[in-house]
Structure 1
Amino acid sequence: MLHSVKFLCSVARLVHALLMSLCSPRTPPAPLQQVQAIIKATKVLRPASMAVADHDEKPRPPPVLVLPPALFKQGEKGAKARGRPSRLVIPPPPVAGRDAGFDPFGEAAAADRVAAEVEEQGDGFCVASRRGVRHAMEDAYGAVADEIRGESRMAFYGVYDGHGGRAAVDLVAERLGKNVVAAAATASPGDELGVMAAIRQGYLTTDNEFLSQGLRGGCCAATALLKDGDLYVANAGDCRAVLGTRSGAAIPLTSDHTPARDDERRRIEAAGGYVSKGSGGVWRVQDTLAVSRALGDADMRASGVTGVPEVHAARRVTADCAFLVLASDGVWSKVSDQEAVDAVIARISSCTEKTTASVECCKALVALARSRGSRDDITAMVVDLQRFLLPR
């Protein structure tokens, strides 16, 4: 009996709630006949287990209340009358990536479309480049060959790694080689210090050309100048040059300019900047730039970042000098100097032509870096040094 009383009370409360929901300010009160129809249509389903004596100690399952279908239809109409916000339609993003070859956002949209993959077999050199996961390809390269003073041969090669957009790397790739070659052509034969000063001047001229245009971003570089049988290398930033010998040894010719270097950190701090190490273990200037030297980066000059390169003394090209590897940080962050030389030698051995400046050598370096998880832009260049070996 007690259960029946509780059940009837529940039905009464339910009917009261229904009446209140139907009698909203925007909906006229339901007629008495409509309420009575709803009550009559309400059915109570009692399971067979409920047909037991009141004194039975077994728990009784609650009754099931079934409302008429008409009530649900009226509720749906009421919901539509009150209004429901329409679904948001989000258009799909534009296609970008390997198939598109460029990203439609940022500075790359206004500039010419830059290929995501580049392979070139040049005169005495080869290069391969692959875009990483960033919004635009910011690596580039350059090669300038010039015949001067009769039998003397001069050539320039460079690999460039931009940041903050393509403006800096585009200008450096276009102007640096020409500026260095023009300055070095005025140096006297055998004047090692004069050639080194000319290389430095070529870097500074290019840097000033970029800064004078008020462009943003910066660019790291590693370059090689071959003149009168001598090899000169220079760098600004974390691009690197490594010599591969015929005996298979790897000889690093440059040192990366990063805030992790003690001498670079002291130079930055002496100029009024500061160096910090982030949670990822990367040293940065002003908590921002991971290199301490680069062409451009006008907003970082007050912190000690400079475009002045580190120019290394000449090295005579001998019979043991097989090739030179120039590559961006996308390679060196995952591949050591010796591993890079080993990869080139292994690819030369497997090629039927046995030529040093084969694009397959560069592709092997790119593939090795990518297989180890390099997500950066990757550019690798191999120069055949035997072409510049002077006869005795």
Structure 2
Amino acid sequence: MEEIEGFNCGESKSPIDGRPPNPPSSAASTFRQCHHNKKPLVRHPSLMMTKLSDVSAEPERATEDCQSDFFPKLRSGGCGNMGFRSSMEDVYVCVDNFMQENGLKNHIDGPSAFYGVFDGHGGKHAADFACHHLPKFIIQDDDFPSDIERIIASAFLQTDNAFAEACSLDATLASGTTALAALVIGRQLVVANAGDCRAVLCRRGKAIEMSRDHKPVCMKEKKRIEASGGYVYDGYLNGQLNVARAIGDWHVEGMKSRGGGPLSAEPEFMSTKLTAEDEFLIIGCDGIWDVFRSQNAVDFARRRLQEHNDPTMCSKDLVDEALKRKSGDNLSAVVICFQQQPPPNLVVPRSRVHRSFSAEGLRELQSFLDNLGN
């Protein structure tokens, strides 16, 4: 884990032809979906305006006073859009009261919540399956909510194996999905990521990346892939997938086996202790991040929240803006607010300007004053 100290799903359908069930539709959990496109990327000018150095890879430590008495008051909302694609393969989920929604007594101080974004490829079945089963495997673990990272990692792998079993019974389910889950347990934010979805925390206006995009060309992923018997060709894993980690894809030759493989479903973790300086979290599929840098997305969302203070509207604003910026993929975004009030206006302290006179200037000033005296 990288220490940086993180259930509404899309439209539900009844099981057909032995396919795995989707979550039931209810007022408490509405199944929402989102989409992807691989048309030529039109890079928006905002991508050039934010330097990578402006985005913190590690949150600044807040004062102990900030951490001691703060508990997040959660509000969330999500939005999905098919975009310019011919079908929708994204799914997202929002559960502000994770334990209560699943019939468990919340015996921890503060909230318990689960949020997820699943970016499907080669079909939507894997994304639907992961959206339904991943939170279930987490909440059903006897140790939940303690030992949270072990539980989440186990849930990712259980979901992957369960989907392999489902595909062995029904070959039409064959597909894959990236998966990003964000959990809030008390003051702790835990983010688990497998793929190229991304989570970005806004800490007093500053973007804190809470996940790392798992692309095959990343050196760490490339080394893992090659050590597992795979290779990277033209930026693609085994010349076929443009992600290095995903749930599913058991049907793709050379990607996975019971003994392992170059495509991993194991998540990577980042976590932080939430403080009064933490304003909101954005999680989204790669269609969002194709046209937003992390700091640019935080700046955009922050302005919208200051206008209407509605996380659902804010997630729609992000998706609509990504469409305007010509993102070629399905689009899904979730915004989680940690405060009841909108983000405050930040006062940037003026830098003090130091002025000095040269010796010649002082002599001229003295001469001027002397002339005035005469």
Scaled to the shorter chain, the TM-score interval is 0.5 to 0.7
Unaligned 5+ segments in structure 2 are 1-10, 12-20, 23-30, 36-73, 101-105, 168-172, 341-374
In the aligned structure 2, how far is the partner of 1:334 from the partner of 1:182?
Answer: 37
Query: Does the aligned pair in 2 maintain the 1:249–1:341 contact within 8 Å?
Result: yes
Correspondence for 1:172: 130
Q: Tell me if 1:382 matches 2:335.
A: yes
In the aligned structure 2, how far is the partner of 1:236 from the partner of 1:159?
Answer: 11
Q: Tell me if 1:287 matches 2:233.
A: no
In the aligned structure 1, how far is the partner of 2:329 from the partner of 2:311?
Answer: 23
In the aligned structure 1, how far is the partner of 2:156 from the partner of 2:137?
Answer: 8
Among 130, 141, 145, the alignment partner of 2:81 is: 130
TM-score, length-scaled by structure 1 = 0.62
How far has the Cα of 1:304 moved from its partner?
0.6
Which AA in structure 2 matches 1:294?
Answer: A
- SS of the equivalent of 2:300 reads helix
Correspondence for 1:54: none
Query: Does the aligned pair in 2 maintain the 1:157–1:224 contact within 8 Å?
Result: yes
Q: Tell me if 1:211 matches 2:164.
A: yes
- SS of the equivalent of 2:332 reads strand
Query: Does the aligned pair in 1 maintain the 2:34–2:332 contact within 8 Å?
Result: no
Q: Tell me if 1:139 matches 2:90.
A: yes
Correspondence for 1:335: 292
In the aligned structure 1, how far is the partner of 2:33 from the partner of 2:154?
Answer: 32
In the aligned structure 2, how far is the partner of 1:305 from the partner of 1:207?
Answer: 11
Q: Tell me if 1:224 matches 2:177.
A: no
Correspondence for 1:265: 222
In the aligned structure 1, how far is the partner of 2:151 from the partner of 2:239?
Answer: 33
Query: Does the aligned pair in 2 maintain the 1:142–1:177 contact within 8 Å?
Result: no
Which is greater in Rg? 1
In the aligned structure 1, how far is the partner of 2:301 from the partner of 2:191?
Answer: 20
Q: Tell me if 1:276 matches 2:236.
A: no
In the aligned structure 1, how far is the partner of 2:318 from the partner of 2:264?
Answer: 30
Q: Tell me if 1:315 matches 2:315.
A: no
Runs of 4+ in 1 over 4 A off after TM superposition: 114-118
Query: Does the aligned pair in 2 maintain the 1:184–1:195 contact within 8 Å?
Result: no
How far has the Cα of 1:187 moved from its partner?
4.5
What does residue range 185-204 of structure 1 map to in structure 2 within 5 Å? 186-188=144-146, 194-204=147-157
Q: Which whole-Å deviations, capped at 9, do the CAs of 1:116-162 have from their partners, x for residues lacking one?
A: 879xxxx7201111103333200001123224216443111001100
Which AA in structure 1 matches 2:242?
Answer: A
From the superposition, tell whether residues 150 and 346 of structure 1 become closer, same or farther in structure 2 (CA, over 3 Å): closer
- SS of the equivalent of 1:318 reads coil
In the aligned structure 1, how far is the partner of 2:148 from the partner of 2:210?
Answer: 17
What does residue range 96-115 of structure 1 map to in structure 2 within 5 Å? none
In the aligned structure 2, how far is the partner of 1:272 from the partner of 1:234?
Answer: 25
Query: Does the aligned pair in 1 maintain the 2:34–2:91 contact within 8 Å?
Result: no
Correspondence for 1:373: 326
In the aligned structure 2, how far is the partner of 1:267 from the partner of 1:196?
Answer: 21
- Larger proportion of helix: 1
In the aligned structure 1, how far is the partner of 2:145 from the partner of 2:307?
Answer: 41
From the superposition, tell whether residues 347 and 327 of structure 1 become closer, same or farther in structure 2 (CA, over 3 Å): same
How far has the Cα of 1:266 moved from its partner?
1.0
Query: Does the aligned pair in 1 maintain the 2:176–2:248 contact within 8 Å?
Result: yes
Which AA in structure 2 matches 1:266?
Answer: K
In the aligned structure 2, how far is the partner of 1:349 from the partner of 1:115?
Answer: 25
Query: Does the aligned pair in 1 maintain the 2:78–2:94 contact within 8 Å?
Result: no
Q: CA RMSD in A?
A: 2.5
Query: Does the aligned pair in 1 maintain the 2:117–2:285 contact within 8 Å?
Result: yes
In the aligned structure 2, how far is the partner of 1:185 from the partner of 1:361?
Answer: 35
How far has the Cα of 1:115 moved from its partner?
8.1
Which AA in structure 1 matches 2:161?
Answer: N
How far has the Cα of 1:168 moved from its partner?
0.2
Unaligned 5+ segments in structure 1 are 1-100, 102-110, 189-193, 278-282, 388-392
